[in-house]
């Protein structure tokens, strides 16, 4: 078990005074260390942590002022109380100026010392708690930090900040790994709900029955084996944000129930008859083509309209190549720190390979590549040999046909279009954007390929 007692250091060259204080402080439940002089105190301060130091001012050799100064340097979170038998205004002012918490004159009453000690320790505790809170907050901000220098991304971030404070639903569209979840966190973080819960659920990862229970919760014995009543994520996210990832994968019957949550601001648990009011903000994301999902009936149109009050379209990394070096530096720092390796750079040859690469897996793929690179790097930099092989030999040369002949331009175009379609997960809008053609010409070409004709 860790010792949670406050650590005190008592410094006095007078043995009786020292022992007296030690006894009283121990009785008050503190962990007490003593030093019989300034030199011994300095040695202890170098090697151990303390929350509070009580030091005599006048001592042979190293005096209390020197102990005080060293504490300020080495133990910035600790407080120091100075005690002396030769109370003069000058020395007390000097000690306070050097940062002592309090100045006690001998002879003192024990009650006075105990009171000052408890006040000083309270201050130390508060400071420690504040620092911990600040660290947690920084951690949260870090999770929502979007690194970019791309003008379109900056416009998107501006739009996100603009809609974040409202409760309107936001639909985040983008290929896999572009940072959709990051945008969801960013929206939560910039909303008035930032201190409330942020919950994310992947609608494609669960069976319909499990997802219904997960989202809506259930009443007692809604079905065999359900046991007692249970809150769903929608209720748990009350006061905060619920992020529905891969929303197009949600079974149709659940889409109706979700629509009700958005429209009526209330949730009906599985097996319940009475709805419960909920105060949540819904964000949703998809890497599919939404028009297609609605057209094919996969996503209910009414739900689509409700979710899609604002759309954020996160562009693929290939459309913001200037972000590549920036993200490389960001992930390099992140993983070097995490793996405690002093990898500080990416060799220019390796960076050149990275900036040419298509990144079908977008930012996530780049992150994985850098994480791997940091793990493999032996010196202080990531060299080309630390990149995945597929990257190093990017095939600019077209693969010949079965008969050994090189492909025609049309044939090569067909292959390239199929390849891009694959990289964007079948999302025609994104594919068209990547190819630099409009959607109807892409659609015509794809239909042509499907019919076996060469258009």
Ligand X SMILES: Nc1ncnc2c1ncn2[C@@H]1O[C@H](COP(=O)(O)OP(=O)(O)OP(=O)(O)O)[C@@H](O)[C@H]1O
Q: List interacting residues with ligand X (CB under 6 A).
A: 146-148, 174, 176-182, 287, 330, 363-364, 367
Which CB, 201 or 420, lies closer to Mg ion? 201
181 near Mg ion (CB under 5 A): yes
Residue nearest to ligand X (CB): 179
Q: Least separation, in Å, of the C-beta of 239 and ligand X?
A: 23
Which CB, 113 or 328, lies closer to ligand X? 328
Which CB, 144 or 276, lies closer to ligand X? 144
How many other CB atoms are found less than 10 A from the CB of residue 131?
Answer: 11
Which CB, 298 or 364, lies closer to ligand X? 364
Residue nearest to Mg ion (CB): 181
Q: Least separation, in Å, of the C-beta of 325 and Mg ion?
A: 24
Q: Least separation, in Å, of the C-beta of 219 and Mg ion?
A: 31
Which CB, 165 or 204, lies closer to Mg ion? 204
Which CB, 56 or 365, lies closer to Mg ion? 365
3-state secondary structure the chain: CCCCCCEEEEECCCHHHHHHHHHHHHHCCCEEEEECCHHHHHHHHHHCCCCEEEEECCCCCCCHHHHHHHHHHHCCCCEEEEEECCCCHHHHHHHHHCCCCEEEECCCCHHHHHHHHHHHHHHHHHHHHHHHHHHHHHHHHHHCCCCCCCHHHHHHHHHHHHHCCCCCCEEEECCCCCCHHHHHHHHHHCCCCCCCCEEEEECCCCCHHHHHHHHHEECCCCCCCCCCCEECHHHHCCCCEEEEECHHHCCHHHHHHHHHHHHHCEECCECCCCCEECCCEEEEEECCCHHHHHHCCCCCHHHHHHHCCEEEECCCHHHCCCHHHHHHHHHHHHHHHHCCCCCCEECHHHHHHHHHCCCCCHHHHHHHHHHHHHHHCCCCEECHHHCCHHHHCCCCCCCCCCCCCCCCHHHHHHHHHHHHHHHCCCCHHHHHHHHCCCHHHHHHHHHHHHCCCCC
Which CB, 181 or 365, lies closer to Mg ion? 181
Which CB, 55 or 423, lies closer to Mg ion? 423
Q: Least separation, in Å, of the C-beta of 367 and ligand X?
A: 5
Q: Least separation, in Å, of the C-beta of 71 and Mg ion?
A: 49
Q: Least separation, in Å, of the C-beta of 185 and ligand X?
A: 8
411-440 residues near Mg ion, rule: CB under 5 A: none
Residues 6+ apart with CB under 8 A from 8: 25, 30, 31, 32, 33, 50, 51, 52, 53, 54, 117
Task: Please identify, among the stretches 134-142, 179-187, 369-377, 422-430, the one whose residues bind Mg ion according to the rule CB under 5 A.
Answer: 179-187
Residue 364 interaction partner, one of ligand X, Mg ion, none, beta carbon < 5-8 Å per kind: ligand X
Whether residue 169 contacts residue 306, with contact meaning beta carbons closer than 8 Å, is answered with yes
Q: Least separation, in Å, of the C-beta of 24 and Mg ion?
A: 59
Residue 12 interaction partner, one of ligand X, Mg ion, none, beta carbon < 5-8 Å per kind: none
Which CB, 6 or 181, lies closer to ligand X? 181
Residue 177 interaction partner, one of ligand X, Mg ion, none, beta carbon < 5-8 Å per kind: ligand X
Residue 24 interaction partner, one of ligand X, Mg ion, none, beta carbon < 5-8 Å per kind: none
Q: Least separation, in Å, of the C-beta of 262 and Mg ion?
A: 21
Q: Least separation, in Å, of the C-beta of 340 and ligand X?
A: 20
Site of interaction with Mg ion (CB under 5 A): 181
């Amino acid at each position: 078990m860790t010792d949670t007692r406050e650590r005190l250091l008592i410094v006095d060259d007078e043995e009786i005074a020292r022992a007296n204080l030690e006894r009283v402080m121990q009785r008050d439940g503190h962990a007490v260390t003593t030093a019989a002089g300034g030199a011994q105190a300095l040695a202890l301060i170098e090697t151990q942590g303390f929350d509070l130091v009580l030091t005599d001012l006048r001592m042979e050799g190293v005096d209390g002022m020197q102990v005080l100064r060293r504490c300020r340097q080495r133990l910035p979170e600790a407080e120091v109380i100075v005690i002396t038998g030769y109370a003069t205004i000058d020395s007390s002012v000097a000690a306070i100026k050097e940062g002592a918490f309090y100045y006690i004159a001998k002879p003192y009453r024990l009650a006075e010392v105990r009171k000052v000690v408890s006040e000083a320790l309270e201050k130390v505790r508060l400071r420690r708690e504040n620092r911990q809170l600040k660290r947690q907050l920084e951690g949260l901000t870090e999770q929502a930090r979007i690194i970019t220098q791309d003008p379109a991304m900056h416009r998107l971030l501006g739009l996100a900040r603009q809609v974040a404070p409202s409760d309107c639903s936001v639909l985040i569209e983008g290929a896999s790994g572009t940072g959709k979840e990051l945008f969801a966190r960013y929206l939560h973080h910039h909303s008035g709900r930032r201190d409330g819960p942020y919950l994310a659920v992947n609608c494609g990862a669960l069976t319909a029955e499990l997802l219904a229970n997960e989202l809506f919760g259930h009443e007692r014995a809604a079905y065999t084996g359900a046991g007692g009543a249970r809150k769903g994520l929608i209720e748990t996210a009350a006061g905060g944000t619920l992020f529905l990832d891969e929303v197009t994968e949600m079974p149709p019957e659940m889409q109706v129930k979700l629509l009700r949550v958005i429209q009526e601001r209330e949730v009906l648990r599985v097996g319940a008859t009475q709805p419960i009011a909920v105060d949540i903000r819904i964000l949703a994301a998809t890497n599919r083509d939404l028009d297609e999902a609605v057209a094919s009936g996969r996503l209910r149109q009414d739900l689509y309209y409700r979710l899609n009050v604002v759309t954020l379209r996160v562009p693929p990394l290939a459309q913001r190549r200037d972000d590549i070096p920036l993200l490389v530096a960001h992930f390099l720092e992140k993983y070097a720190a995490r793996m405690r390796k002093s990898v500080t750079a990416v060799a220019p040859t390796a960076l050149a390979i990275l900036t040419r690469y298509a990144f079908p897996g977008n930012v996530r793929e780049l992150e994985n590549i850098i994480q791997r690179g940091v793990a493999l790097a032996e010196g202080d930099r990531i060299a080309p040999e630390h990149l995945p092989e597929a990257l190093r030999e990017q095939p600019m040369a077209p693969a010949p046909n079965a008969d050994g002949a090189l492909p025609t331009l049309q044939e090569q175009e067909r292959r390239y279009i199929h390849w891009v379609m694959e990289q964007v997960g079948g999302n025609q809008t994104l594919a068209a954007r990547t190819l630099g053609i409009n959607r109807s010409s892409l659609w015509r070409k794809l239909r042509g390929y499907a019919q076996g004709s060469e258009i």
